[in-house]
Amino acid sequence: MKMRYEYSSELKGQAIGTDYDMSELALSGKMDKVIRFISWQMNSYKSKIADIQKGSFQASDGIEIPFYTFTPKEKREKYPAIVYYHGGGFMFPIQKAMMDNSALYASNCGVKVFLPDYRIVPKVDCKRVNDDCYEMLQYVFQNASQLQVDPEQVILYGDSAGGCLAANAAIRNRDEDRFPLLAQMLLYPVCDNESWRYESVDEYEYGVWSKKANDSMWKLFFHNGCEEIRRVVPMKNDCHGLPQAYVEPQEMDVLRDEAIAYANKLKAAGVETECNLIGGSYHGFDAELKSPLVKRVFEHRYQVIRRFIRQTEEK
C-alpha cells in the first residue's frame, strides 16, 4: 500500500493509520480484549539497560494504581526523576514503546522514571484520568526520600494524550502551589479539544493518528461529562508561572499545529520554552528506534533532560 504522505527517508513510516471511530470501538467493548493483551505483555517486559520494578500507590478514591519504576544500572543515593504519562488516546494502557523510552531515559540520563498505569476511559471519566496522573506526581514528591528521588529535580513528561496529562498536571500543580517542578516535556502532545481550528488537522487527515481518530478520542474522553473543561484541556488555561518546557511537534501529524500553538502560548506567558519541530516525522515516529532520525531526536532529548538537571546542580 502506497503511503499517503512523504515521510523522511530515514523512517519506514506506517501505511495504515487509525481512520476509524475509536469511541465506538471502546464503548462497544471491542477494544477490551486488545487492552488486556497489551497489559499482559507489559507485565513480562524486560530491559538490559535499566532495572524495572512494579509498585502501586493509593489514589484518592481508594483504588491502587500500578506503576513501573525504571532505575539506572549505575547506583546513586538519590536520582533526578521523570514522571512519564504515556500516550494512547486516553483509552489504551502502557505499550512497549513507552517502556522502551523509559528504559532509554533512565540509562542515558541517569534519571529514575516513574510510569503510571493510570485508569483509562470509558472505564472512568476524564477527571479521574487526570486525578490519577496528578496523584502519581504527588506520590513521588511525598515519598521522595524513600524513592531515592531528588525533589528539586523532577520533570513531567508525556507523549500524545500523555502530553495533555503532563501539561494538565503542571497547571494543577501551579494552581495549588504544591511542588517545585523542574520542567515539562511534551511530545506530539494533545493540547486542544477544538481541533478544527488547526490547519494540520485537514492537511494530515489520514495520518498515522487521523482526524477521525482524534475527534472520536475527545468524544470518548468527554463521554461521562466534564464539570470544568479547563482542568482537562491545556489550551483553555493561562500559562503564566508554569515550569520551563520542551515541546516537540511532528511535521506530518494532525496534532502539529495545536502543539505549536501551545508552545507559543507558553512563550507568550514568559515560560522558557523550546519548540522543536521534527521534519518528515509522523505521530509516534519515535517507536522506530533503529532509525537514524529517531536516534538523533533521542540524543537531543537526552541533552534537554541533562540541561534541565544541570540547572539545579549549578545553583
CATH of the domain at 204: 3.40.50.1820
- Residue 8: inside a domain, yes or no? no
Q: Which three cell numbers stand for residue 246?
A: 520542551
What is the predicted pLDDT for the residue at 14? 63
CA distance linking residue 257 with residue 194, whole number of Å: 12
* Number of domains within the chain: 1
CA distance linking residue 298 with residue 11, whole number of Å: 14
- Residue 3: inside a domain, yes or no? no
What is the predicted pLDDT for the residue at 1? 38
What is the predicted pLDDT for the residue at 175? 97
Residue 262 in 3-state DSSP?
helix
Query: What is the reported pTM?
Result: 0.96
Residues contacting 33, CB < 8 A, separation 6+: none
CA distance linking residue 168 with residue 165, whole number of Å: 5
- Residue 16: inside a domain, yes or no? no
Q: Are strands 112-116 and 149-159 parallel, antiparallel or unpaired?
A: unpaired
What are the Cα distances from residue 278, in Å, to 195, 214, 234, 284, 289? Answer: 20, 20, 22, 12, 15
Q: What domain range includes position 33?
A: 22-313
What are the start-end ranges of the H helices in 124-240? 126-142, 144-147, 161-176, 199-203, 211-221
Nearest to 42 by CA among 54, 33, 58: 54
- Residue 49: inside a domain, yes or no? yes
- Residue 152: inside a domain, yes or no? yes
What is the predicted pLDDT for the residue at 201? 97
- Residue 9: inside a domain, yes or no? no
- DSSP 8-state class, residue 227: S
Residue 281 in 3-state DSSP?
strand
What is the predicted pLDDT for the residue at 12? 85
CA distance linking residue 263 with residue 3, whole number of Å: 29
> b/e map of 259-270 (b: 16 or more CB within 10 Å)?
bbbbbebbbeee
What are the Cα distances from residue 184, in Å, to 40, 72, 218? Answer: 30, 21, 23
Backbone φ and ψ for 291, nearest 5 degrees, come out as -70, 135
What is the predicted pLDDT for the residue at 30? 85
What is the predicted pLDDT for the residue at 24? 85
What is the predicted pLDDT for the residue at 17? 63
- Residue 33: inside a domain, yes or no? yes
What is the predicted pLDDT for the residue at 15? 52
Q: Which three cell numbers stand for residue 73?
A: 544500572
Give average pLDDT by consecutive 10-residue segment, the chain, 315 residues: 78 71 86 90 94 97 98 96 97 96 98 98 96 98 98 98 98 96 98 97 94 95 92 97 98 98 98 98 96 98 97 74
- Residue 17: inside a domain, yes or no? no
